[in-house]
Structure 1
């Protein structure tokens, strides 16, 4: 449940690859009524179109493809390696099917598809899938919308019943209230994920200048507030009728199924749904720029940003792959021109290039965030110099080898799960009509040449105009790269023909009772993967498991200590993570660039990291390249160079990132909450990356000493999962015997002070649009079958499930938040119970009341029979999804070593799960939910939130952003008052990069 807080993670979330533009003037949409008609099942037979099988070791996803009489395409991938099934329904409609004045419909309708249908109650989709032990989601982008579930294979029929009901029986369940609820949800979502997020409007602003007025890529997938405000429920219903027919959809099912089984169920549940209007593929001319277009905006950011974008080609165009190669050479990694010229010289915190393509267009984009002392004008020169340097250096054999090997390795890794294979088939069928298009893609990537890359550079980049967007801190307009010279010009725009006239809702007529939820088949047999154990003479404990699904090997080294070791000298907190970062750089024999190049050519990865409890090394390799990968692992592990220039650069970036965190309320909340729980003097009260003061104290000699003293096989566990046997892999790891063992003392954790009474702590974040809430106390250490495990069962219906009491109250009933949760987190030492959410500023006090009310009510009244049955079913059947991928197996096996768990501990957990009683759950609630002794913390706009908080009956204490008390005397209200009553529309869990949640 922890949230990473580095700038890179912030930007990865903010700069998602969606093209967007500024809001033009729009006319009010025409209101059209919706007619309801019933009809009988269409005549005709399901046709099998093709069957693709794998020959030898070729990289192919086997499948069978069918088309129902109503036009629904059905693709089935049969894979009995795990007792799970992934169901994906993709509709070929995204924001590109919208029109001026009605932006955001595709995403809006994604929300509506989770609001119930004729035979599925509002919000029941989540509950049914969760109770079945599955996961679910929905995503929208420019070109398609998809809905998917991963469930135990005995729940296949239930998943198909759910998807068919909302495809064919949705509109009668779409009410004005649901429409208004989700309209507010989408508006709030835009505020949180776009308007109020650093760099959140980058693609909206750049696409404003890149695409002509009216182009469907010239607005965000989430749409404009003014468009959402003006539409009505019939507009939305007509959008469904136009685009959500079975002939514009692909049903893809993969996993522990047979094609005959899937087709029979598809015919039953989808066959009677009437065909929709014809949908043709779109083709639009590429945007044309006659000069460089400069534009800018001010944002709540620490680092300014410059983005340069050139228009290119759509997905699957012959020039897409060579442009991808060019992007890698310019700014794709440690061997790129931008990295060499900007990152290595300490001019930027981030510099990159990419070439995201969509169905109608592509964008070649360079993005740079300079460190203080370097201007955006300087960065524009650096970008142009990078192209000039490319012209001189050209394309090397190494460039092509790295690109091709990395692509193939990424494809192999993406196919390690049933969900990955199924979604790949679905995407290719939707956009090319050929689920086997992976074969074409592999050929295109393997065939790309140096001449191809030089040709596309000359055709699309060299001397061509671009869009240059400056993002500058608020109040610093002078920091732009160049003065704005672009404005949207709507002249010449011609609205397309009306596509929504005369649409009718033709409801299917069945020969069975669709209102009856299908009964699941027998529960699949879940077995823990077989494993083996071994030990090196120097103390490394090894555990491994064979996995034959893909020809790869995953290795995970875990060294006890990490951030906890810094308790020996807290004045240098952050040294563990800085040491790990430095070990990702050069070795004695190779530079970081050499290592990166060799790993890319192998299609392998080696990554060092550090957390509160451990340092880690993650290794991924294809079996055929394992020996070469392990040779590079030996270099990095046992012979790090610890170069002074690398250290200086990483330390400078670390200090800048720490300063940047102060602008992020979520990070401030997590840091201050930890300080409150653990207290002054506890190493866990200090962030893992350290503070400005502690990182400034660290020298390169300190890092070398930390490595010498604590990087030891005596505290190391190694997990190996992949297509190798124990007898094959252990001799290859003989180099680890050279690693000298040292005695490592893990500092004992000091006792954490008890909370004497519940108080509210406030950290001021002036004019913040939301408040971050954390509520909790120090609870339990981890155990697999004792009170910790049982407490997680108790908490499942309180705050862990999507349909938990806390989440349904604060999000669905009150609309205060996109997601509210509670959880226990422990390790060898006690960890906290935490309840958390980001809520709207004007309901901060009310949100605290609702959090505490739900915790207190659960403690006093306990669990219901229905909730107990739901918890047992959801957690018990969910085991089917736990051990599928190599990383899932590795995490499972690592826990076994770390906590010295018995081989049958999962069976013991299941026994506890099935036998735990209401009385035991209720006793656990009384014991581990001490509402009278919890800390409540808010990070938000003090002027807005504090008056309401002071009326809640708790002592209110002000803290600064470092967690230090700044009031001489806390305020305690004389009278306990009810918070203000606010009843906004319901909300929904936040979408992540186009997801429904």
Structure 2
């Protein structure tokens, strides 16, 4: 089913939001504006209407400014969206927009190399950037007092970037992009699926025919001046929307925007792109062999474009056909174990949408990809005969309503919605039209779009099959993309560029000085213990009419027997199947009609039940959850399907280098112990499970005593307790956990090498067993010690391997722990040809830090970064839920946050250095490498290490 993300979701609560302070009503005098800024419109809250209040302004240079005031938390979210993505690139020059996402973080004329991340992190903020086919956005969430600093940073890279774009930076980031492609596409199972399908679906000149990340051949032939020319064409203020939301003073914010952005010159004129209709003259069959376990069939039909009048009914059609357990494809493929997975979605972009159907056949079914294709086509005919039912409309609209509300619980969510609507429609308030078009979908509309875009229409049919099994494809390839003609290396010179110079008297070399952080109040909490042993901790949050609950039952992975590993995980899946009252499909339908979600999973210590619902549907949702937990049917047919799919998933995971590395590393750290096996189990342990094992585990462990229930809701404690009275009828105490995790006799100082065929990258783990989790003790202090080594983007490890060497897309280190054990791990996924060099650098960074310790600048950076994050910790119900869960699990006083602040402020360089010497001893660490062992073994042995082949 389509994931409902802004701006295409439904809500009913925004009429509750108050208007911005500066909203101008008809006839009211508008506020005085700084020179160079014009008022466009103000949208305030209106009874009975759904909207996000905002003010809209335009700068003389074309920059659009949106302000949204929300004083509920002392933080601000800043988003700069440029209306440029891979769709604005030219054939032969792919990947430029994504490449600039990287370059925009590499410093600008007044911001030093790697300083953008450092400044934001030190300010207590978070940041990132994303690129898709149609837009690039850069965003930061920061304490409210840091707003001017962020506007200074964003303005500097908008107006002063190119002088800082050097050939050296260009070359390093080109390698980083290659690493990103290797990690996310080339070294991942099915990673090239969308790239291959797009080549077949779109004409070669269509901008969606190439991947957003680009072809590496294109990036290899261009030079730094090609990138600069692309920036000059598309990154002017007239092609950007600056959206600022949160705890702001609109008048002061306008002055700051004028100060930093008004003098930046406009770029060339930008027009909205055309949206050509894509049609196919016949079914196009394509295929590829990949390093996968399960074959895959993917069918894609071209449809419309985003916000087309037919988008909404096509979305609903995708839900009926492949949206979870109530869908037709689930019934015809997954329920009867013909497929491990089957789904349908209808993603939309600015120029085109696609209707996609996907299935992975179950090996035991004996069904080929050709068989699967026929079943899918028969399912389409079944829909045509079945038609659209009343429940289809009810479910979809309820999910949209809930998804929209939950997606906008943060300032970032509201800002992102405003920015997207403004960028693609010119109307930041487009939400009202979105709501109307989805609410207006009827049964006839869904049937109409089926007949227009799917019935008897042509598709691209992609087969991905395991290496060496070309005969397994659905049909012989009948489409072959035009061979790309790679031009010679570019000769674009600096003289070809038409630079734009900013002319003003502002001294932009000075970083704005921020005032003191606003006080961040801790969430107000209430606590209650029930007679049956459930401990409850809750907090009221009035921002949205929602309730989120987390129920943690001590029945996790560590309660299992080693030979039955995966029992808790299978139990979690079985609790999502049939109950004694209704089928899994009926249960799913009931939850969907409420717009509620219930996710059940198993961790090491707890079985976790996450519940999210609109508060008006809380009681009905809790009744369904109670039925799931206390009345599971444990049908043999459900168990066999769940178990078999879990086994196939474990086998399929072995094609992923990260999974292989983590699995081998865990085994080496814990030896012959339940902790050495992942919570999902392995082939042997899952294969040994019988339904009675699941029933016995459920009967012994799924009890309320010592369970923890954490709640964040707009309801009061008294109201919630009335809804939770039914829990008193649940009785019982589960078996106590009796587990010790002794250190195994694993040989250290050697490299354990796991083979992966034709791996373009290598996954590396270096680490050891370490401290158990504590909240204010040595474990916490050790996480502070690690921060400059590998705990931030600007850490030594990441700057070395990613920014200086271009070996990886990202490298890190950190401590992890629980009540029984802990570990320290340094990790990276690197280019295969620099595996040995990467290990040298990782070892050098760890040893140097242990020997020489932290610098004064690093200590100050760590203190500021950690202690200024408070505003971000409790904003959303989800964040509050995690905070309360930590308090309840570890029996903390809420002021542990203040204790941590004192620790961060008081810890000295000597304290840090002593911890580094104690915990960063290379001779105690194991090393795991996953890659092409035939090539890597001699290279690693040349480093002086004993290399031990290791099998998973």
**TM-score (structure 2 length as normaliser):** 0.94
Would you say 1:572 and 2:554 are equivalent positions? Answer: no
Q: Residue 293 and residue 416 in structure 1: after superposition, are their counterparts in 2 closer, same or farther (change >3 A)?
A: same
Match of 1:549 in 2: 543
Conserved in 1, the CA contact under 8 Å of 2:304 and 2:352? yes
Give the 5 Å matches for 1:224-623. Answer: 224-372=215-363, 373-488=366-481, 504-566=498-560, 569-623=561-615
**Alpha-carbon distance in structure 2 between the residues aligned to 1:200 and 1:692:** 24
Return 764-773 or 406-415, whichever deviates more.
Answer: 764-773
Shift of 1:480: 1.1
The answer (yes or no) to whether the contact 1:841–1:944 under 8 Å persists in 2 is no
Structure 1 position 112 matched with structure 2 position 103: yes
- The residue number in structure 2 matching 1:123 is 114
State the alpha-carbon separation in 2 of the partners of residues 448 and 837 from structure 1. Answer: 48
Q: Distance in 2 between matches of 1:67 and 1:741?
A: 64
Query: What are the superposed Cα offsets for residues 419-442 of structure 1, whole Å, 9 maximum, x if unpaired?
Result: 111111100000011111111111
Task: Give distance in 1, aligned partners of 2:437 and 2:330.
Answer: 27
Match of 2:783 among 792, 815, 836: 792
Q: 1:853 is matched with which residue?
A: 844
Does structure 1 residue 930 correspond to structure 2 residue 921? yes
1:226 positional shift: 2.1
Q: Contact conserved, 1:416 with 1:885, CA < 8 A, in 2? A: yes
What CA deviation, in whole Å up to 9, does each residue of 1:879-934 have, x standing for no partner? 22111111111111111111111221111000111111111111111122222211
Is the 2:188–2:656 Cα contact (8 Å) retained in structure 1?
no
- Contact preservation (8 Å) 1:312, 1:364: yes
2:680 is aligned with 1:689: yes
Aligned mates of 1:906, 1:314 — CA distance in 2:
48
Correspondence for 2:11? none
For residue 500 of structure 2, give the secondary structure of its aligned residue in structure 1: strand
Task: Structure 2: give runs of 5+ residues left out of the alignment.
Answer: 4-33, 485-491
Q: How far off its partner does 1:489 sit?
A: 5.5
Tell me whether 1:741 sits opposite 2:726 in the alignment: no
- Does structure 1 residue 916 correspond to structure 2 residue 907? yes
Corresponding residue SS for 2:209: coil
Structure 1 pair 57–721 and aligned structure 2 pair: CA distance change class (3 A): farther
Alpha-carbon shift at residue 170 of structure 1 (Å): 0.9
Cα deviation digits, residues 833-873 of structure 1 (max 9, x gap): 11111122222222222212111111111111110000000
Q: Distance in 2 between matches of 1:856 and 1:184?
A: 26
Question: How do residues 948-959 of structure 1 correspond to structure 2 at under 5 angstroms?
Answer: 948-959=939-950
Report what 1:88 is aligned to. Answer: 79
Moved more, 937-946 or 513-522: 937-946
Q: 1: distance between equivalents of 2:373 and 2:517? A: 60
Uncovered stretches (5+) of structure 1, i.e. residues with no partner: 1-7, 13-42, 492-497, 962-997
Contact residue 715 and residue 744 of structure 1 kept, 8 A: no
| Distance in 2, Cα, partners of 1:216 & 1:951 | 46
Correspondence for 2:14? none
Correspondence for 1:980: none
Partner Cα separation in structure 2 for residue 628 and residue 860 of structure 1 = 60
The range that moved more, 266-275 or 170-179, is: 170-179
Q: 1:943 aligns with which of 926, 934, 939?
A: 934
**Match of residue 633 from structure 1:** 625
| 1:51 Cα offset (Å) | 1.1
SS in 2 for 1:617: strand
How far off its partner does 1:775 sit? 1.2
1:502 Cα deviation after fit: 7.7
Alpha-carbon distance, 1:757 to partner: 4.7
Quote the Cα distance in structure 2 between the aligned partners of 1:215 and 1:756: 55
- Deviation of 1:102 after TM superposition, in Å, equals 1.1
Tell whether the 8 Å contact from 1:714 to 1:744 is kept in structure 2 after alignment. Answer: no
Shift in Å, 1:488: 3.4
Q: Aligned in 2, Cα 1:796/1:57: closer, same or farther, shift over 3 Å?
A: farther
| Distance (Å, rounded) in 2 between the aligned partners of 1:316 and 1:501 | 42
**Count of aligned positions:** 913
Contact 2:285–2:478, Cα closer than 8 Å, also in 1: yes
- 1:778-927 matches, within 5 Å, as 778-927=769-918
Q: Separation in 2 of the partners of 1:664 and 1:175? A: 36
Distance in 2, matches of 1:746 and 1:192, equals: 39
Distance 1:845 1:321, change over 3 A: same
- Say if 1:736 and 1:376 are closer, same or farther in 2 by CA, change over 3 A: same
Measured at CA, do residues 599 and 846 of structure 1 come closer, stay the same or move farther in structure 2, by a change above 3 Å? Answer: same
- 1:700 partnered with 2:694: no
Judge conservation of contact 2:189–2:655 (CA < 8 Å) in 1: no
Q: When the two structures are superposed, what TM-score results if normalisation uses the length of structure 1?
A: 0.90
> Do the aligned residues in 1 keep the contact of 2:173 with 2:806 (CA within 8 Å)?
no
From the superposition, tell whether residues 528 and 80 of structure 1 become closer, same or farther in structure 2 (CA, over 3 Å).
Answer: same
Distance, in Å, in 2 between the alignment partners of 1:756 and 1:319 is 62
Match of 2:665 in 1: 673
1:756 is displaced (CA, Å) by 7.0
Counterpart-to-counterpart distance in 2, 1:254 and 1:364: 35
Distance 2:625 2:529 in 1: 19
- Shift in Å at residue 701 of structure 1? 1.3
After superposition, the CA RMSD in angstroms is: 1.9
